[in-house]
């Protein structure tokens, strides 16, 4: 359940009282894990996998209600930020135009001297926070243009030019830092509330940084840039049955020899930060550490890319040596070679089993429940898939009939199918089962969260309606969870 999909009055889910009520429902439903999507600040396209920072949090998630309780906002000011005209969808454009001005009012009333945790936060996070704040205010000054299009003194980080920016924009820099402090404070309180009630948070981190990000601008040496900071290649994945041109993600590629020489210090810093945000971490596109797909910069599609070797398990050995044992899930979906499978197996991290990938007719398909292993996480579908109900309606007759026959639910209709898939996931031998909230709500593809290789539309916009997660549904989920020994 993405945080942004929680119901609130203000147009997007966040760390509001509704989030605490959601945790209470999870407890009532006998659940142990709440999986969320990346929570970084989003930009054009609204994708949480293309964030302006590998460290920063999304200020849209800050609860205005909690700021009102602290005396930093009035109810009238909160009402100005009401972007909930459609309670079922996030309106990112409305939020972009109104949210920061309301938060600015809270900033003007905030007295850092009376909140010692603020100085602690700034001191603890200074390594990334100052760069992110400076990047953010320059980007604002440059009318939103990506850093690659800034004037050379700023693009190339001329020290005198940056000093001048810092002096002239100091108040705006402090406003950015204030927003990050609120994010960290409110998320920390919500996470503690969940942990105290037996709910662990499963977070998600993208393998790549975004091209237009503070990370790429502030430390270009870690990426495959030339002397003029132009990328040699960008990230993507090759053509397959789902995308005939492949997927052109456009992220800068890591300079893995450089990371090896530095002892993976940036990754250690990043993962240390992530371990504080989440109890369990799903690493997106895990196969990219074994080998990664490089597309020449400027190509219109991913067709002409090629594979390059990644760092393999060396990076995870370095992380474990620095940070101790990590509770990691390897997102091992997509095109897998024997060497990738061997790396996942040797890592000891559980991989993912997605039921929607199981029913093409091959009894040896690794996603079919009878082929599951214990060290795995089983899903009906992920944020990139259709809802189970939507999948049932859209797949071909052969796949649908094979699935119904396999599950022993011949004759079941679209209305019944999501529960059939949930039962298949819960009855798997996989140690952990994660069910999208849309499937428990039995929603069709109007509630689909993302369609890969597409931009705009309703991607990343779905929200749960107020009152949908009822006490009756929570009790039903608990009964199903108990039935399969997972409560």
**What number is the average pLDDT over the span 231-246?**
89
Sign of CA dihedral 448, 454, 458, 463: positive
Contact 231, 223 (CB under 8 A): yes
**What number is the average pLDDT over the span 327-331?**
96
Catalytic choice (24, 77, 366, 384): 384
Helix, coil or strand: residue 383:
coil
Helix, coil or strand: residue 469:
coil
Say yes or no to pLDDT of 455 above 90. no
Q: Write out pLDDT tens, residues 122-137.
A: 999 998 999 999 999 9
Catalytic choice (46, 212, 284, 290): 284
Predicted pLDDT at 303: 95
Lowest mean pLDDT segment, chosen from 59-73, 148-162, 196-210, 237-251: 237-251
Predicted pLDDT at 334: 79
Predicted pLDDT at 337: 87
Q: How far is CA 384 from CA 257, 401, 450, 465, in A?
A: 32, 23, 5, 21
Predicted pLDDT at 243: 81
Say yes or no to pLDDT of 336 above 90. no
CATH architecture of 1-196: Alpha-Beta Barrel (3.20)
Predicted pLDDT at 92: 92
Predicted pLDDT at 161: 97
Decide if 82 is catalytic: no
Predicted pLDDT at 335: 74
Say yes or no to pLDDT of 366 above 90. yes
Say yes or no to pLDDT of 474 above 80. yes
Q: Within 10 Å of residue 60's Cβ, how many Cβ atoms?
A: 25
CA distance 433 to 439: 13
Decide if 245 is catalytic: no
Predicted pLDDT at 453: 78
Q: Write out pLDDT tens, residues 265-295.
A: 999 999 999 999 999 999 999 999 999 999 9
Decide if 397 is catalytic: no
The tokens describing 264, both together, are 């993976």
Say yes or no to pLDDT of 356 above 80. yes
Predicted pLDDT at 44: 84
Say yes or no to pLDDT of 261 above 90. yes
Q: Write out pLDDT tens, residues 298-311.
A: 999 999 999 999 99
Catalytic choice (204, 215, 290, 331): 331
- When the pLDDT of each residue in the chain is averaged and rounded to a whole number, the result is 96
Predicted pLDDT at 481: 98
Which residue, chain included where needed, has tokens 């390897």? 330
């Amino acid at each position: 359940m993405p945080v942004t999909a929680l119901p609130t009055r203000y147009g997007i889910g966040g760390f509001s009282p509704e989030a605490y009520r959601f945790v209470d429902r999870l407890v009532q439903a006998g659940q142990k894990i709440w999986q969320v999507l990346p929570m970084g600040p989003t930009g054009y396209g609204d994708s949480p996998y293309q964030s302006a920072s590998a460290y920063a949090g999304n200020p849209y998630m800050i609860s205005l209600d909690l700021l009102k309780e602290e005396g930093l906002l009035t109810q009238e000011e909160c009402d100005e930020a009401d972007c909930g005209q459609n309670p079922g969808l996030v309106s990112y454009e409305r939020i972009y135009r109104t949210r920061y001005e309301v938060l600015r009012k809270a900033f003007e009333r905030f007295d850092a001297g009376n909140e010692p945790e603020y100085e602690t936060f700034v001191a603890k996070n200074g390594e990334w926070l100052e760069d992110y704040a400076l990047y953010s205010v320059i980007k604002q000054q440059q009318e939103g243009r990506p850093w690659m299009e800034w004037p050379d003194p700023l693009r190339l980080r001329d020290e005198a030019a940056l000093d001048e920016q810092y002096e002239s924009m100091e108040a705006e820099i402090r406003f950015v830092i204030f927003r990050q402090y609120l994010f960290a404070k409110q998320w920390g309180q919500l996470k503690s509330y969940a942990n105290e009630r037996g709910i662990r948070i499963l977070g998600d981190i993208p393998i790549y940084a975004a091209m237009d990000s503070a990370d790429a601008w502030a430390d270009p040496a870690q990426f495959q840039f030339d002397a003029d900071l132009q990328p040699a290649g960008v990230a993507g994945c090759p053509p397959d049955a789902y995308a005939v041109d492949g997927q052109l993600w456009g992220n800068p590629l890591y300079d893995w020899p450089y990371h090896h020489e530095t002892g993976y210090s940036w990754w250690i810093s990043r993962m240390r930060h992530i371990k504080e945000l989440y109890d369990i971490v799903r690493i997106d596109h895990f196969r990219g550490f074994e080998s990664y797909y490089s597309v020449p910069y400027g190509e219109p599609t991913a067709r002409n890319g090629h594979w390059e070797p990644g760092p393999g398990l060396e990076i995870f050995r370095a992380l474990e040596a620095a940070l101790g044992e990590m509770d990691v899930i390897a997102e091992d979906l997509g095109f897998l070679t024997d060497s990738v499978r061997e790396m996942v197996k040797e890592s000891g991290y559980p991989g993912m089993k997605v039921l929607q990938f199981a029913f093409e007719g091959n009894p040896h398909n690794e996603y079919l429940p009878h082929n599951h292993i214990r060290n795995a996480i089983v899903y009906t579908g992920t944020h990139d898939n259709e809802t189970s109900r939507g999948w049932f309606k859209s797949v071909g007759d052969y796949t649908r009939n094979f699935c119904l026959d396999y599950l022993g639910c011949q004759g079941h209709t679209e209305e019944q199918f999501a529960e059939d898939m949930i039962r298949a996931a819960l009855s798997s031998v996989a140690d952990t089962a994660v069910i999208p909230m849309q499937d428990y709500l039995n929603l069709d593809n109007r509630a689909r969260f993302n369609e890969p290789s597409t931009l705009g539309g309703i991607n990343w916009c779905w929200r749960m309606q107020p009152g949908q997660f009822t006490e009756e549904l929570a009790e039903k989920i608990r009964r199903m969870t108990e039935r399969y020994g997972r409560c």
